[in-house]
Structure 1
């Protein structure tokens, strides 16, 4: 009887995750999303519906996966201090890998910008390229994104102090500013005089700003989920790991944009 009782209690602080179908579902959804996107770009017939189906499958699989993680953290109590420490380390390593990814983009940009070849007209920006004025829409977007960093920090400190209403207002303002930034980035792409196929300048510009835009969209979803969890009373002043990870990710997005603005928009123009 004693052995049976002891077997019901966990002898370590770590979370042994139960078997879940969602990682496999997400993997196959990403595979089909990539294949259908490539087929759509090459003009294959009926590729569009497959692309939409793959995207919906990805969103649903991720949503159910997040639901299970939230349940494990909030209701089942599996996210002990040891688990939280491991997750924090995982988020830090993930952000480090993302920083190295952007480092490669900056490397490609400066490789050509610091010593433009004769094929580029021995000048930067290359001949025929009219760079975007850094003091117009890019500067406004910089102010918007840095303001979102202020509002999300305000929300974080308000949550730590137990001020729920200030936390909600701060996170809501952050999400709204992020959506405005994304919309203005789309306007900038629409009115730009060059495309991604216009040599190394266009490739580096759209690769850097485009992937940053994708990170902004991911970070917006991250913070929107955090906002919903605060509304649902999931996050407390001493246990808000998911929101804290989203805030750390958002600050990374802010810093990357500063480097993009200074190097590609201002110096590169």
Structure 2
């Protein structure tokens, strides 16, 4: 049973964490086997089962939290806990992307020049990779995946940058509308944010199709292809999750779940969306432009 100890709400025992753990484990095992060419039930279908379990967990767990919030069980101290939890979650996401940006930096600034004979790589170049030109982007040494072309920064990537920057404006306008008590305007601005995110994902999918179909730029295109698709792909996944959260928040606003002074659920999603915007700016500069 849920209990109240002092001024802090203590929720009842929940089965959702173990359900989520099972879903994550199943998804990762299935995805790892699929990416390594394993066929059968232990690969792609297993990943889909894991994703379904995760969706079930998210729907049930978030629904429980929403019902408790609407019932008025949360006070200021719980609100502070939610804020701290979201801050640490976004920090973990910052570290997640920092690892991939770090891999890009290491490969481009240190590893590739070493393989070309600079600094500590003189012997490596002499005995293993004579003739290797340390130029970026590269799929070498050995031209793994064959030759490829890069995606011009001033085409779809620039358009997607403008779309995400515009979505940062619309989510901010939605927040101001909510704080002013204009619920219909809040829903409208949230819908605009979701639409901009959806258009971004459409153009990213088009970009991927162009890369694989015409430019021979794939995950197998050496270190450049690997870092390109890991960074942009995980960012696209975060945009997808953010858009789903925005839709849920939009439905909650339409049902009257938030007030001008009590709407951290909205704020948390807005924080996440702004984080997604900032990560894309880094991607645009360091992956597409430089």
TM-score, scaled to structure 2 = 0.84
Contact 2:235 2:276 in 1 (8 A): yes
The residue aligned with 2:51 is 55
CA shift for structure 1 position 106: 1.4
The residue aligned with 1:36 is 30
CA shift for structure 1 position 11: 5.0
In the alignment, which of 74, 79, 86 is matched to residue 79 of structure 1?
A: 74
The residue aligned with 2:13 is 19
The residue aligned with 1:97 is 92
Aligned residues: 259
Instruction: Tell which deviates more after alignment, 77-86 or 49-58.
Output: 49-58
The residue aligned with 1:146 is 165
The residue aligned with 1:5 is none
Deviations 1:126-165 (A, max 9, x none): 2644221000000010011111111100000100000111
CA shift for structure 1 position 9: 8.8
Contact 1:149 1:250 in 2 (8 A): yes
The residue aligned with 2:194 is 175
Contact 1:13 1:83 in 2 (8 A): no
Tell me, which stretches of 5 or more residues in structure 2 are unaligned?
A: 117-128, 140-146
Deviations 1:41-72 (A, max 9, x none): 42322344443333222211210111100011
Mapped to 2, the partners of 1:264 and 1:82 lie a distance apart of: 42
Any residues of structure 2 matched to 1:196-215 within 5 Å, and which?
Answer: 196-215=219-238
SS at match of 1:15: strand
Mapped to 2, the partners of 1:111 and 1:49 lie a distance apart of: 35
SS at match of 2:282: helix
Mapped to 2, the partners of 1:86 and 1:148 lie a distance apart of: 28
The residue aligned with 1:125 is 137
Q: Superposition RMSD on alpha carbons, in Å?
A: 1.9
The residue aligned with 1:46 is 41
Mapped to 2, the partners of 1:222 and 1:253 lie a distance apart of: 13
Mapped to 2, the partners of 1:124 and 1:52 lie a distance apart of: 37
CA shift for structure 1 position 40: 3.6
Deviations 1:20-45 (A, max 9, x none): 11111111122122223334442322
The residue aligned with 1:261 is 284
Mapped to 2, the partners of 1:222 and 1:174 lie a distance apart of: 11
- Correspondence 1:247 to 2:273: no
In the alignment, which of 235, 241, 258 is matched to residue 258 of structure 2?
A: 235
Q: Which has the higher contact order (CA 8 A, sep 6+)?
A: 1
The residue aligned with 1:3 is none
Mapped to 2, the partners of 1:141 and 1:70 lie a distance apart of: 33
The residue aligned with 1:4 is none
